[in-house]
């Protein structure tokens, strides 16, 4: 391919190829090449996490949130899963000429609300405007810094458990419903949520937690494939334990989408030693927004791929996807 | 106005109004409200600068640079004028479907070159792609962190000198020439340059330097008006001492543009005590890219506006502009 295609932006295989071929080849360095959700950098003897994300979600207002809430939660979550307490954010706006100021105010208020809830501060920003037709409504970049707080990625081993903090695929489903104006009954909305509120619950398990990851673009299917490849192990998922809301299942069946590959924006995958997984689940269930926390699978040396098994013993391999089904979900 | 207009993005009065009305009102805090080129934040007892900038320059390749070089220099310069040594950058790309990968590689190589020259590292990034027609070619956000290194803004007083590190208005002029496909003779190119390379030269004057500022959107006219308003003093500029290249003057006359309001992307305004200004100029002239450094004016309590005086004694007031002449220069 000699041109950038939509699939280069879906967070899967082609995104990864483009990043390696163009960006890592040009300006790679040992920190960038770690390829983590946040860079971990040393600053005056302390470790700091630093991350960035641009948001191009369509539509910009959707059930359960808007681009502002998403932009703040997204960067907070990237810092959180890197084991950092999010502290400070930057916000860069690119706004299309004639965008309604009333909508901009609503977006800013959504940002404010998440900041208030999490005690994270927006400390610097930038505002650019382009001519009508040169951008679609509004794009937002948020970057953030946080302090690493004792959490550290560890080698994943055979038998380590995989937990999820709640029901999956709700963000992707909400975006699909709103983008295609589907007339859907039932309470479907994005799960967009700042995960840093979970850190105090998880802190006491920090020595037994191997990895945290938010399954955004590509859902748990893509996220677990990435982790499996890096670990050299396979993943056995227990299909009946994966929490998915009924309405989400119906909509996905109707649209021919697979919820295992659809984004969540307020859930965390946790890989932990098996000795603590029950306790983590019990503690999570007492924590805001985690009452559906579940132990959904296990790492195994028996294979090198990701698969689900249903209660009848039927197995299905979850391959890394060549192309994700739903672009522009964040 | 109930819609965002192009003038909300030019870095002048309306940008400032929009930022205050929408963003500061929603999520203002003491650090954000300082309204500096970089936020100064405390991190583990040390002071750190943190800044962000989105780049929407048109055209993306121009004489003297491209959007990649500009994006790295721009954020390096925001950190530098905040008195920080730039250390780490993030890069967020929003790319329009069908953008040529060869061009993307050239942009990435430009970014690499500036990073190499300055020892600044790109440590984290994000890549998004939007459908053809949903963005214009490529937009880049860079955010950055640096360590504050002894430089500190100080109260500007009557008699303080204003220095510029080189010829002005070259970036804005280069963009105008390339955007409008002007058939211009002579060597006109952007002055886009990473200012952190000047810090070692300026370090020994740090206690006598009151302020550093890069005159980007709005040029020295807008930058000095901003500083004058904050200081409560006026500015007297010596017109004949303001370094402007002949070719830049000609092009601006032809286009009806005023170079005093056109962007530089590799120059720094320095406000310093008068006792050191001569020495600073002498040292700058030995520094790469500063051979046209000049003492261009003085702060005065005699008035509260910015004016230039020519060698015949003719005076002209430089008002803050309602609307800048050339959008999308960075």
User: Is it the case that residue A11 has pLDDT exceeding 90?
Assistant: no
Q: What is the pLDDT of residue A185?
A: 81
Single out the residue in B148, B180, B195 at which a domain terminates: B148
Between chain A and chain B, the number of residue pairs with CB atoms below 8 A apart is 278
CA distance B269 to chain A (A): 21
Q: A141 and A166 share a domain?
A: no
Alpha-carbon distances, residue B64 vs A232, A310, B69, B170, B216 (angstroms): 47, 61, 9, 9, 16
B226 lies in a domain? yes
pLDDT band for position A186 (cuts 50, 70, 90) = confident
Contacts of B136 in chain A (CB under 8 A): 130, 134-135
Q: Are B108 and B99 in contact (CB under 8 A)?
A: no
Q: Which residues pair with B53 in a beta bridge?
A: B142
Summarize the confidence of residues A108-132 as an average pLDDT: 97
ipTM: 0.96
User: Which residue of B lies nearest to A121 if distances are taken between CA atoms?
Assistant: B29
Contacts of B121 in chain A (CB under 8 A): 29, 31-32
Of A15, A105, A135, the CB nearest to B127: A15
User: Which residue of B lies nearest to A114 if distances are taken between CA atoms?
Assistant: B27
A4 lies in a domain? no
Query: Is B181 an 8 Å CB contact of chain A?
Result: no
Q: What is the pLDDT of residue B227?
A: 97
Q: What is the pLDDT of residue A109?
A: 98
Question: Looking at chain A from residue 60 to 119, which residues have their Cβ under 8 Å from any Cβ of chain B?
Answer: 87-88, 90-102, 104-105, 108-109, 111-112, 115
Q: B211 and B309 share a domain?
A: yes
A53 lies in a domain? yes
Of A39, A131, A133, the CB nearest to B88: A39
Question: Looking at chain A from residue 32 to 51, which residues have their Cβ under 8 Å from any Cβ of chain B?
Answer: 32, 38-39, 41, 43-46, 48, 50-51
CB spacing of B39 vs A123 below 8 angstroms = yes
**Calpha distance B68→B105 (Å, rounded):** 10
B10 lies in a domain? no
User: Is it the case that residue A323 has pLDDT exceeding 80?
Assistant: no
User: pLDDT tens digit string along A290-322?
Assistant: 999 999 999 999 999 999 999 999 999 999 988
**Calpha distance B285→A98 (Å, rounded):** 46
A171 lies in a domain? yes
Contacts of A18 in chain B (CB under 8 A): 101, 127
Structural domain span for residue A85: 36-148
DSSP helix/strand/coil, B109: helix
Q: B176 and B244 share a domain?
A: yes
Is cis: bond before B59, omega within 30 of 0?
A: yes
Single out the residue in A113, A148, A183 at which a domain terminates: A148
Of B54, B108, B145, the CB nearest to A22: B108
**Calpha distance A267→A245 (Å, rounded):** 14
A324 lies in a domain? no
Query: Is B149 an 8 Å CB contact of chain A?
Result: no
CB spacing of B129 vs A101 below 8 angstroms = no
CA distance A150 to chain B (A): 15
pLDDT tens series, chain B, 330 aa: 899 999 999 888 899 999 999 999 999 999 999 999 999 998 888 899 999 999 999 999 999 999 999 999 999 999 999 999 999 999 999 999 999 999 999 999 999 999 999 999 999 999 999 999 999 999 999 999 999 988 999 999 999 999 999 999 999 999 999 999 998 888 899 999 999 999 999 999 999 999 999 999 999 999 999 999 999 999 999 999 999 999 999 999 999 999 999 999 999 999 999 999 999 999 999 999 999 999 999 999 999 999 999 999 999 999 998 877 788 999
Report the percent of chain B where pLDDT is more than 90: 92
SS (H, E, C) chain A: CCECCHHHHCCCHHHHHHHHHHHHHHHCCCCHHHCCCCEEEEECCEEEEEEEEEECCCCCEECCEEHHHHHHHHHHHHHHHCCEEEEEEEEEEEEECCCEHHHHHHHHHHHHHHHHHHCCEEEEEEEEEECCCCECCEEEEEEEEEEECCCCCCCCCCCCEEEECCCCCHHHHHHHHHHCCCCCCCCCCCCCCCHHHHHHHHHHHCCCEEEEECCCCCHHHHHHHHHHHHHCCEEEEEHHHCCCCHHHHHHHHHHCCCHHHCCCCCCCEEEECHHHHHHHHHHHHCCCCCCCCEEEEEEECCCCCEEEECCCCCEEECCCCCCCCCCCCC
Q: A144 and A171 share a domain?
A: no
Contacts of A59 in chain B (CB under 8 A): none
Single out the residue in A116, A148, A180 at which a domain terminates: A148
Is cis: bond before B135, omega within 30 of 0?
A: no
Q: Give chain A's mean pLDDT.
A: 96
B219: left (phi over 0), alpha (psi -120 to 50) or beta: left
CB spacing of A54 vs B126 below 8 angstroms = yes
User: pLDDT tens digit string along B1-43?
Assistant: 899 999 999 888 899 999 999 999 999 999 999 999 999 998 8
Alpha-carbon distances, residue B312 vs B163, B308, B316 (angstroms): 22, 11, 12
Of A32, A94, A99, the CB nearest to B3: A99
A216 lies in a domain? yes
Contacts of B125 in chain A (CB under 8 A): 19, 23, 32, 52
Contacts of B6 in chain A (CB under 8 A): 97, 129, 131
Q: A131 and A202 share a domain?
A: no
CB spacing of B125 vs A23 below 8 angstroms = yes
Contacts of B217 in chain A (CB under 8 A): none
Q: Where is pLDDT greater, at A322 or A50?
A: A50
**Calpha distance B239→B165 (Å, rounded):** 16
CB spacing of A105 vs B5 below 8 angstroms = no
CB spacing of A52 vs B136 below 8 angstroms = no
Of A4, A38, A94, the CB nearest to B56: A94
CA distance A19 to chain B (A): 8
**Which CATH number goes with the domain that contains A54?**
3.30.1330.10
Phi, psi of B138 (to 5 degrees): -155, 140
- Residue B10 CA neighbour count, 13 Å, CB half: 22
Contacts of B44 in chain A (CB under 8 A): 43-46, 147
Query: Is B120 an 8 Å CB contact of chain A?
Result: no
Q: B95 and B173 share a domain?
A: no
Query: Is A323 an 8 Å CB contact of chain B?
Result: no
**Which CATH number goes with the domain that contains B173?**
3.90.650.10
CA distance B140 to chain A (A): 9
Of B9, B32, B97, the CB nearest to A6: B97
Number of domains in chain B: 2
Alpha-carbon distances, residue A311 vs A234, A237, A301, B170 (angstroms): 19, 11, 22, 70
Q: B144 and B165 share a domain?
A: no
**Calpha distance A184→A182 (Å, rounded):** 6
CB spacing of A54 vs B115 below 8 angstroms = no
Q: What is the pLDDT of residue A65?
A: 98
CB spacing of B143 vs A141 below 8 angstroms = yes
Per the structure block, which two tokens stand in for B214? Answer: 């890069």
Summarize the confidence of residues A250-274 as an average pLDDT: 96
Q: B201 and B103 share a domain?
A: no
A330 lies in a domain? no
Q: B224 and B313 share a domain?
A: yes
CB spacing of A127 vs B32 below 8 angstroms = no
Q: What is the pLDDT of residue B184?
A: 86
Q: B237 and B92 share a domain?
A: no
Q: A144 and A168 share a domain?
A: no
Contacts of A119 in chain B (CB under 8 A): none
Q: A297 and A197 share a domain?
A: yes
Query: Is B317 an 8 Å CB contact of chain A?
Result: no
């Amino acid at each position: 391919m000699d041109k950038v295609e939509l699939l280069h932006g879906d967070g899967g295989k082609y995104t990864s190829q483009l990043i390696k071929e163009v960006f890592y080849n040009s300006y790679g360095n040992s920190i960038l090449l770690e390829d983590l959700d946040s860079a971990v950098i040393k600053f005056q003897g302390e470790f700091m996490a630093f991350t960035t994300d641009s948001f191009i979600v369509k539509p910009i207002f959707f059930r359960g949130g808007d681009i502002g809430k998403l932009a703040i939660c997204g960067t907070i979550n990237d810092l959180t899963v890197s084991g950092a307490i999010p502290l400070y954010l930057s916000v860069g706006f690119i706004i299309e000429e004639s965008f309604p100021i009333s909508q901009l105010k609503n977006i800013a208020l959504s940002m404010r609300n998440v900041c208030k809830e999490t005690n994270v501060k927006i400390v610097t920003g930038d505002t650019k405007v382009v001519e009508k037709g040169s951008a679609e409504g509004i794009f937002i970049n948020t970057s953030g810094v946080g302090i690493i707080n004792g959490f550290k990625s560890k080698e994943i081993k055979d038998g380590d458990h995989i937990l999820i903090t709640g029901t999956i695929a709700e963000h992707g489903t909400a975006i699909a419903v709103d983008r295609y104006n589907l007339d859907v009954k039932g309470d479907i909305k994005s799960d967009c949520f700042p995960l840093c509120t979970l850190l105090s619950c998880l802190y006491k398990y920090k020595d037994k937690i191997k990895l945290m990851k938010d399954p955004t673009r590509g859902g748990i299917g893509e996220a677990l494939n990435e982790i499996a490849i890096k670990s050299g192990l396979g993943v056995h998922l227990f299909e009946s334990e994966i929490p998915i809301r009924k309405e989400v299942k119906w909509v996905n069946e109707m649209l021919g989408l697979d919820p295992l590959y659809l984004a969540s924006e307020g859930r965390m995958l946790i890989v932990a030693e098996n000795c603590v997984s029950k306790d983590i689940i019990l503690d999570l269930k007492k924590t805001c927004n985690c009452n559906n926390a579940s132990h959904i699978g296990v790492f195994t040396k028996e294979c090198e791929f990701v698969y689900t098994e249903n209660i009848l013993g039927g197995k299905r391999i979850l391959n890394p996807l060549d192309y994700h089904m739903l672009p522009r979900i964040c």
